[in-house]
């Protein structure tokens, strides 16, 4: 009998190339342990993240989205992360009004040296998503038991 | 003795129940939030009281907003293609003469050089039970296009409201076959038929909006190149798709594939010539200007389609006028064409 | 007000101060108006101001070249200011003919109240806070608040603040609580069921894009729905993609939407779009104390930032 595969949340992370991605890289080279649930997409700046990406990720079936950039004041392009801050703010609030679980969209400031913080962020988000369950937002006939991740419908 | 039958309005539910053994019954409904033809849930016939016409035309039952053409999967040997299952038989109850005529009109397009394998089988399997209008909208103008609110040419059975009862006329053989196996229909008397004729006359005269369709093709195309005129006409249009998507004689569709790794679906969905990207091609977009798109819409319906198929692609249902967000009115355009012929 | 409007418009065109005039003229259906866009000074006589001037004419500013004289209610003037903030329109290129608005009548509310359709009514007359509807020869009176659009009841600026010519005495806001009822009800619904509500509502969307096209804030030459590389949303009306379209559209117009309500009015299948736009409007007001189109010198919301602002959701 085949072992039953337990559901693991699928995360996508939009990490800014200059800070957060470097921080994630450092976490790897420092052998910091963090859940392998995250798939990383490198963007030049957190300000590149259009709310459209977040929605598309949810549509494709990702259980959670993480947006991470440089600390305010440290953006390589001066102001990109300020834009990200406003965009993520309204996106998160709006989606919560619509009934999307708040744990699905997370944002963080992770600098290039904060390998530990990156590992913590991914761990926290993954744990939070395990409690919330698979993303059934866009599936036809949503399942109640949540034993498999949503196929793109 | 007459050739017609009749049925008491209270017994319409019994008719539908009998027919539901063989057909999927569609009736006018507002349950979804907008007036459309929806599956009859089995009991309620209160639509007989409020129904004037739907917002979504019955063409959606034959040319759905989104329709799967086939699905495909790639495996080691090659491509595996699967056609969608055959649909069942539909019975559309309450279709108005304008919408029924519209179906006949667009049949020509789907039968032209290529027999459409999705639309035509649905059409041939379906039964249309028309109900004549007794309360046309002020946006209706069917009488100017050779139809009347009581026209029975394009349905299988035609019902006319004669008070507490409907007169039932068997129009096609399909209709006759249906009534032959239906119980609950009574024989209509000569008085019933006379009454029906009166009602039809009254309904005809209730349609106040008119256009002069005489020689419209030539009149319209004579002014085709008048950019100033068309720019004026198009000025307030906002290029949304309401008039075209809700028009019972519009049939343009777009075909797209949706892929997930090694499998996918090819589907078609309704498209609109009002959208700026409708004619967008890699090299150019011949109708990037709004006035060209507006001109195209009017000239297709009242010029090119009649030139090709001998029938105007409009049945005067008035949805475009009723629902346009800026009250753009095709009858105003047609009634004020610059005289050039 | 109509007389003043017509003479002002005539003067503006005669003196060559504007190239175009955008206003309202009587529609082809009872109790409707339709936009009039013209260069001809003789068309001035066709202009009207009545309780049915529903369109947001600022929508046409982004496609008309040249200087424009535009009739604007309070909400419309805010959209014009928003466009000026976005640099889509220069202040010198518009002559704002401000209309002190007392609210526009929602015909669907009237139809529900009297149980008859618009074309079956004999007359609708508004006098201050009373509306008299004549149907089948009989007159019925209602308080105006029962027939005005919800966005009029929630209006924060009935009289334009930014104008060149004001066509009458300023009018006070109506500020009626009934306007927020529907959104408040939605906020009480459990989160899991809210999404199901929107799934149901967006299932009947036909992707006509009327909501997008009536909106003055939507002026992109190429909307994200028309993008094919990559394809963000399916070009077909599947509810998932319809919902994504609405969500992203609202986020894209955040800070520029003035809650004029045109999107909801234009929707042919009665989707309660204002329950989305008003929520975004309130979010923006709460998080950044910003209201679209109130201050012509303010910087556009999403291109501006403060050093210190809401970021408690950032870890």
The verdict on C118 and C257 lying in the same domain is: no
Q: Please compute the mean of the pLDDT values over residues B16-31 and round it to a whole number.
A: 94
Contact A84, A47 (CB under 8 A): yes
CB pairs under 8 A between B and C: 111
- Residues 46-85, chain C, touching B (beta carbon < 8 A): 55, 59-60, 63
| Residue A152: per-residue pLDDT | 34
Q: Which band of pLDDT confidence, cut at 50, 70 and 90, is reported for residue A146?
A: very low
pLDDT of residue C308: 81
Q: Domain range holding C93? A: 2-106+148-303
- A137–C248 CB contact, under 8 Å: no
* Predicted local confidence at residue C1, as pLDDT: 83
pLDDT of residue C306: 85
Query: Which pLDDT belongs to residue B238?
Result: 95
Q: Which of A51, A72, A93 is the closest to C283 by Cβ?
A: A93
Identify the pLDDT of residue B337.
86
Would you state the pLDDT for residue B110?
Answer: 93
Name subunits touching A (3+ CB pairs < 8 A).
C
pLDDT number for residue A3: 61
Task: Tell whether pTM > 0.80.
Answer: yes
- Mark which residues 131-190 of C lie under 8 Å from B by CB: none
Judge whether C203 is closer than 8 Å to chain B, CB to CB. yes
Residue B333 confidence (pLDDT): 92
**Same domain, yes or no, for C64 and C9?**
yes
Residue-wise pLDDT tens digits, B48-80 = 989 999 999 999 999 999 999 999 999 888 889
The predicted structure's pLDDT at residue A141: 60
Q: What is the DSSP letter of C250?
A: H
Give the closest-approach CA distance of B188 to chain C in angstroms.
32
pLDDT above 90: percentage of residues in chain B: 85
> What is the C-alpha radius of gyration for chain A, rounded to an integer number of angstroms?
16
pLDDT in tens, A47-75: 999 999 999 999 999 999 999 999 999 99
Q: What share of chain B in percent tops pLDDT 70?
A: 99
Residues in chain A whose beta carbon is closer than 8 A to a beta carbon of chain C? 51-52, 55-56, 59, 72-73, 79, 82-83, 85-101, 106-109, 121, 124, 137-138, 153
Contacts of C254 in chain A (CB under 8 A): 90
Q: Is the pLDDT of residue A37 over 90?
A: yes
Which chain C residue has the Cα nearest residue A92?
Answer: C313
Contact in structure between C74 and C158 (CB atoms under 8 Å): yes
Q: Within a domain: residue C315?
A: no
CA C78 – CA B197 distance, rounded (Å): 56
B residues 256-285 closer than 8 Å to C (CB)? 256, 258, 267, 269-272, 275, 277
Local structure of residue C167 (DSSP, 8 states): -
Q: What residues in A contact C201, CB-CB < 8 Å?
A: none
Phi and psi for B184 in degrees, rounded to 5?
Answer: 105, -5
Three-state DSSP class for residue C276:
helix
> Could you tell me the residue ranges of all domains in chain B?
5-206, 216-334
Q: What is the pLDDT of residue B198?
A: 93
- Examine residue C79 and state whether it is found in any structural domain, yes or no: yes
Same domain as C71, residue C162: yes
Tell me the per-residue pLDDT of B269-308, one tens digit each, with 9 for 90 and over: 999 999 999 999 989 999 999 999 999 999 999 999 999 9
Q: Tell whether C26 is covered by a domain.
A: yes
Task: Convert the pLDDT of each residue in B130-164 to its tens digit.
Answer: 999 999 999 999 999 999 999 999 999 999 999 89
pLDDT digits 0-9 by tens, B174-203: 999 999 999 989 999 999 999 999 999 999
What pLDDT band is residue A150 in, cutting at 50, 70 and 90?
very low
In the prediction, which pLDDT does C312 show? Answer: 77
Q: Residue B111: what are its φ and ψ, rounded to 5°?
A: -105, -5
Total domains in chain C come to 2
The closest CB to that of A106, out of C240, C283, C315, belongs to C315
Contact (CB<8Å) C212/B245: no
Least CA distance to B136: which residue of chain C?
C119
For strand A38-43 and strand C165-166, is the pairing parallel, antiparallel, or unpaired? unpaired
* Strand order across the B263-270 sheet: B79-82, B66-74, B263-270, B253-260
How sure is the predictor about A2, in pLDDT bands with cuts at 50, 70 and 90? low
Of B65, B235, B329, the CB nearest to C206: B65
Residue C225 and residue C233 in contact, taking contact as beta carbons nearer than 8 Å:
yes
Instruction: Indicate whether A144 pLDDT > 50.
Output: no
B29 CB within 8 Å of a chain C CB: no
Same-domain status, C32 and C16: yes
Of C35, C38, C236, Cβ closest to residue B267: C236
> pLDDT at residue B24 above 90?
yes
Distance from CA of C306 to the nearest CA of B (A): 37
Q: Which residues of C touch B328 (CB under 8 A)?
A: 34
Contacts A59 to C, Cβ<8 Å: 240-241, 244
**pLDDT digits (tens), chain C, 315 positions:** 889 999 999 999 999 999 999 999 999 999 999 999 999 999 999 999 999 999 999 999 999 989 999 999 999 999 999 999 999 999 999 999 999 999 999 999 999 999 999 999 999 999 888 999 999 989 999 999 899 999 998 888 999 999 999 999 998 877 676 667 778 888 888 877 899 999 999 999 999 999 999 999 999 989 999 998 889 999 999 999 999 999 999 999 999 999 999 999 999 999 999 999 999 999 999 999 999 999 888 889 988 888 888 777 888
State how far residue C305 is from chain A, nearest Cα, in angstroms.
6
Any B CB within 8 A of C34 CB: yes
The interface residues of chain C toward chain A in range 254-273, judged by CB-CB distance below 8 A, are 254
CB B327 to CB C33 under 8 A?
A: yes
Spell out which residues of chain C touch residue B247, defining contact as CB-CB under 8 Å. none
Look at phi and psi of residue B189 and say left if phi exceeds 0, alpha if psi is from -120 to 50, else beta: beta
Taking contacts as CB-CB distances below 8 angstroms, the residues of chain C near A121 are 315
Buried b (16+ CB within 10 A) or exposed e, C107-140: beebbeebeebbbbbeebebeeeebebebeeeee
Q: What is the pLDDT of residue A147?
A: 31
User: What is the model's pLDDT at position C181?
Assistant: 78
For B72-129, the pLDDT digits (tens) are 999 888 889 999 988 889 999 999 999 999 999 999 999 988 999 999 999 999 999 9
Collect all residues of chain A within an 8 Å Cβ-Cβ radius of residue C275.
none
Q: Give the domain CATH number at C127.
A: 3.10.450
Strands B186-187 and B5-8: antiparallel
| Composition of chain B by helix, strand, coil, percent to 5 | 35, 20, 45
By C-alpha distance, the chain A residue nearest C239 is: A138
Domain identity same for C60 and C162: yes
For residue B56, the model assigns a pLDDT of: 96
Q: Choose among C270, C184, A9, C311: nearest CA to B33.
A: C270
Question: Given an 8 Å threshold on Cβ–Cβ distance, is B256 in contact with C235?
Answer: yes
Quote the pLDDT of residue B91. Answer: 96
Under an 8 A CB cutoff, do C204 and B33 touch?
A: yes
Confidence band, pLDDT 50/70/90 cuts, at residue B260: confident
pLDDT of the residue at C178:
66
Q: Closest to A98 (Cβ–Cβ): which among C194, C307, C310? A: C194
Fold of A11-132: Rossmann fold (3.40.50)
């Amino acid at each position: 009998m085949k072992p039953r595969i337990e559901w693991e949340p699928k995360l996508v992370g939009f990490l800014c190339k200059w800070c957060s991605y470097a921080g994630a890289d450092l976490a790897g080279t420092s052998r910091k342990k963090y859940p392998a649930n995250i798939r990383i997409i490198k963007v030049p700046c957190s300000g590149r993240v259009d709310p459209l990406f977040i929605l598309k990720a949810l549509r494709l079936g990702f259980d959670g989205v993480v947006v991470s950039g440089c600390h305010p004041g440290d953006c390589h392009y001066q102001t990109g992360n300020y834009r990200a801050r406003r965009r993520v703010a309204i996106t998160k609030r709006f989606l919560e009004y619509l009934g999307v679980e708040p744990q699905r969209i997370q944002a963080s400031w992770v600098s290039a040296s904060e390998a530990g913080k990156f590992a913590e962020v991914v761990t926290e988000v993954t744990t939070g998503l395990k409690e919330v369950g698979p993303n059934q937002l866009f599936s036809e006939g949503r399942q109640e038991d949540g034993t498999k991740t949503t196929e793109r419908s | 003795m007459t050739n017609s039958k009749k049925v008491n309005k209270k017994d319409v539910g019994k008719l539908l129940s009998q027919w539901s053994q063989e057909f999927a019954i569609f009736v006018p409904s507002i349950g979804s939030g907008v007036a459309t033809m929806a599956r009859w849930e089995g009991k309620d016939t209160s639509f007989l009281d409020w129904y004037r016409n739907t917002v979504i035309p019955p063409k959606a039952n034959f040319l759905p907003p989104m329709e799967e053409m086939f699905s495909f999967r790639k495996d080691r040997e090659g491509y595996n293609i699967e056609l969608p299952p055959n649909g069942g038989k539909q019975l559309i109850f309450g279709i108005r003469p304008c919408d029924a005529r519209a179906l006949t009109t667009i049949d020509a397009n789907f039968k032209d050089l290529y027999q459409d394998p999705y639309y035509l089988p649905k059409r041939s399997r379906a039964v249309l039970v028309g109900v004549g209008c007794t309360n046309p909208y002020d946006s209706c103008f069917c009488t100017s296009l050779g139809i009347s609110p009581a026209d029975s040419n394009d349905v299988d059975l035609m019902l006319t409201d004669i008070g507490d009862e409907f007169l039932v006329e068997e129009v096609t053989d399909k209709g006759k076959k249906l009534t032959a196996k239906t119980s609950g229909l009574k024989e209509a008397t000569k008085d019933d038929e006379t009454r029906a004729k009166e009602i039809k006359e009254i309904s005809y005269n209730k349609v106040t909006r008119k256009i002069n369709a005489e020689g419209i093709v030539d009149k319209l195309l004579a002014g085709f190149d008048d950019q100033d005129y068309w720019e004026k006409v198009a000025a307030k249009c906002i290029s949304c798709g309401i008039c075209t998507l809700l028009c019972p004689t519009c049939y343009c569709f777009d075909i797209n594939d949706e892929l997930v790794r090694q499998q996918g679906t090819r589907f078609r969905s309704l498209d609109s010539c009002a959208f700026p990207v409708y004619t967008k091609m890699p090299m150019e977009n011949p109708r990037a200007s709004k006035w060209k798109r507006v001109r195209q819409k009017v000239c297709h319906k009242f010029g090119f389609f009649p030139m090709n198929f001998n029938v105007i692609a409009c049945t005067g249902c008035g949805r475009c006028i009723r629902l346009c967000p800026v009250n753009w009115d095709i009858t105003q355009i047609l009634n004020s064409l610059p005289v050039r012929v | 007000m109509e007389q003043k409007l017509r003479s002002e418009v005539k003067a503006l065109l005669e003196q060559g101060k504007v190239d175009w005039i955008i206003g309202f003229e009587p529609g082809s259906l009872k109790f409707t108006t339709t936009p009039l866009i013209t260069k001809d000074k003789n068309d001035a006589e066709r202009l009207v101001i009545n309780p049915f001037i529903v369109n947001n004419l600022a929508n046409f500013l982004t496609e008309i070249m040249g200087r424009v004289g535009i009739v604007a209610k309070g909400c419309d003037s805010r959209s014009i200011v928003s466009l000026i903030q976005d640099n889509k329109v220069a202040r010198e290129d518009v002559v704002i003919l401000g209309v002190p608005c007392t609210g526009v009548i929602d015909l669907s509310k009237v139809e529900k109240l009297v149980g008859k359709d618009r074309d079956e009514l004999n007359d609708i007359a508004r006098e201050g806070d009373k509306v008299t509807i004549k149907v089948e020869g009989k007159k019925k009176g209602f308080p105006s608040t029962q027939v005005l659009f919800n966005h009029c009841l929630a209006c924060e600026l009935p009289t334009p603040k930014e104008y060149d010519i004001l066509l009458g005495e300023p009018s006070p806001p109506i500020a009626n609580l009934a306007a927020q009822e529907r959104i408040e009800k939605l906020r009480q619904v459990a989160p899991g069921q809210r999404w199901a509500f929107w799934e149901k509502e967006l299932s009947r969307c036909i992707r006509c894009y009327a909501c997008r096209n009536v909106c003055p804030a939507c002026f992109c030459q190429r909307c994200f729905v028309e993008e094919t590389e990559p394809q963000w949303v399916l070009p077909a009306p599947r509810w998932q993609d319809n919902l994504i379209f609405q969500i992203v559209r609202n986020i894209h117009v955040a800070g520029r939407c003035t809650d004029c309500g045109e999107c909801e009015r234009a929707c042919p299948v009665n989707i309660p779009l204002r329950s989305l736009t008003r929520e975004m409007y309130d979010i923006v007001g709460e998080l950044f104390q910003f209201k679209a189109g109130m201050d012509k010198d303010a910087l556009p919301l999403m291109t501006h930032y403060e050093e210190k602002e809401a970021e408690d959701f950032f870890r």
